[in-house]
Amino acid sequence: MLLFNKFRQLILHYDRKAMFTKRLLNVGWKIALVSIIALILICHFLFAPLPVESSSAIISSITEEIMGTGTLEARVRATISPKISGLIAQVLVDQGDKVTKGQKLVILDDEDLRQQVEIAKAELSVAHAGVEKAVSGIKSAEATEKEAKSSYARISQLAPSGAVSVDTLEKSQQQMEVAQAELNQAQTAKIEAEKLVIKAEASLQFAQAQLAYTVINAPFDGLIIRRYRDPGDIAVPGSLVLDMISLDELWISAWVDESAMAELAIGQAARIMFRSEPEKFYKGTVSRISPLADRETREFTIDVLIKELPKIWAVGQRAEAYIQIGQKDNALVVPQSAVVWQKGKPGLFISNNGHAKWINVEIGLQGKDTVEILSGIKVNDVVIWSRDAKKAITQNRAVRTK
């Protein structure tokens, strides 16, 4: 029995050893397989061609533009405000209404001013009556003075012969002097009465002008873009009632970097893109260039006259203006994204037998998506670009176009 147990233990020992060996072999194969896979992956990532974007250099037209961001504005704009204080009786237009020059826009309450006009008219009538009275007084004084002069002349002729007394002569002379004084007084009264007429006429004109100011008319043909007041509000000079613009000239007032100033000129063609229609462009022309630059942003404004408007637009809405500063029909062009700048000089990566090659180039016009290449490459050369293009050169790796 003891011998049997030892034999049994010996068999169990060898079975355990065989299982352990088998496990070691299994683990070894697995480690070797993982190592092989890892080696394959490492070789793939180290030596496989790097993916890059590519495009052929072609002959095409190109347009170089300068972009400015701004807003739609009107060249002529007016704030409608009363010249006098008063209660608003009527607002005859609303925002969005088109108006013509001279059209009534706002009416103020005019009851008090009408009464003042009537009072001024009455005062003018009184003044005119005073002039008429003064004229009558002058006529009467002239007749009296004429009679006194005639009497004095007759008595003066009789005095040397003693036909009349000295007292009679002196009395006649006094009457003539009194008559002359009364005539002078009548003439002075007429002058004063005429001055009162002038004053009354001025008062009437002022009252009529004040009354006329109760009606506010459109200063030009245009569009009401904002209404600030309603009937019942009190308006004072300078207070906003309406905003209006002229539709004759609308433009994009855009901000442009000062570095582009030398390349801009009045009359240059432009494309305008509104944020509301990012896929559509409207034609425009540079109409005005501001001589003042912002000291903080180093930008200045240009006004681009727009020839056509969207169906729905608003003053102040955002837009981009692209001003054409150069154009060529037969240019050798490559994508804008392919150009790489190194140490301030432009260059390209080109595909050379499946490998990336760096080429220094000279660029010309720069369009929105393409760049003109003046020297360095030729037509149909394949240019490549991505962050891996430079890596392919430094590691002597092949490239694979996507």
Q: If phi over 0 gives left and psi between -120 and 50 gives alpha, with beta otherwise, what is residue 106?
A: beta
pLDDT digits (tens, 9 = 90+) for 188-246: 989 999 999 999 999 999 999 999 999 999 999 999 999 999 999 999 998 999 999 99
- CB count in 10 Å sphere of residue 204: 20
DSSP 398: B
Output the average pLDDT for the chain. 85
Shared domain check, 381 and 366: yes
Arithmetic mean of pLDDT, 264-276: 93
- CB count in 10 Å sphere of residue 11: 10
Do the domain assignments include residue 252? yes
In whole angstroms, what is the distance from residue 242 CA to residue 229 CA? 7
pLDDT for 13 equals 54
Shared domain check, 323 and 252: yes
Band the pLDDT of 46: cuts 50, 70, 90.
very low
Shared domain check, 151 and 204: yes
CATH number at residue 153: 1.10.287.620
Number of domains into which the chain is organized: 4
Do the domain assignments include residue 13? no
Q: pTM higher than 0.75 for the full model?
A: no
- Looking at 294, 327, 360, the residue that finishes a domain is 327
Shared domain check, 117 and 87: no
pLDDT digits (tens, 9 = 90+) for 351-361: 877 777 888 99
Look at the alpha carbons of 353, 357, 360, 366 in this order and tell me if their dihedral is positive or negative: positive
- The answer to whether the beta carbons of residues 363 and 326 sit under 8 Å apart is no
pLDDT digits (tens, 9 = 90+) for 91-143: 999 999 999 999 999 999 999 999 999 999 999 999 999 999 888 888 888 88
* Domain coverage including residue 88: 80-102+217-244
pLDDT for 281 equals 93
Which of 19-23, 171-175, 276-280, 285-289 is modeled with the greatest confidence?
285-289
Higher pLDDT, 170 or 130: 130
Do the domain assignments include residue 395? yes
Shared domain check, 116 and 96: no
Arithmetic mean of pLDDT, 297-303: 95
- Looking at 273, 297, 327, the residue that finishes a domain is 327
Six-digit token string for 232:
């019942």
CATH number at residue 357: 2.40.420.20
Shared domain check, 139 and 202: yes
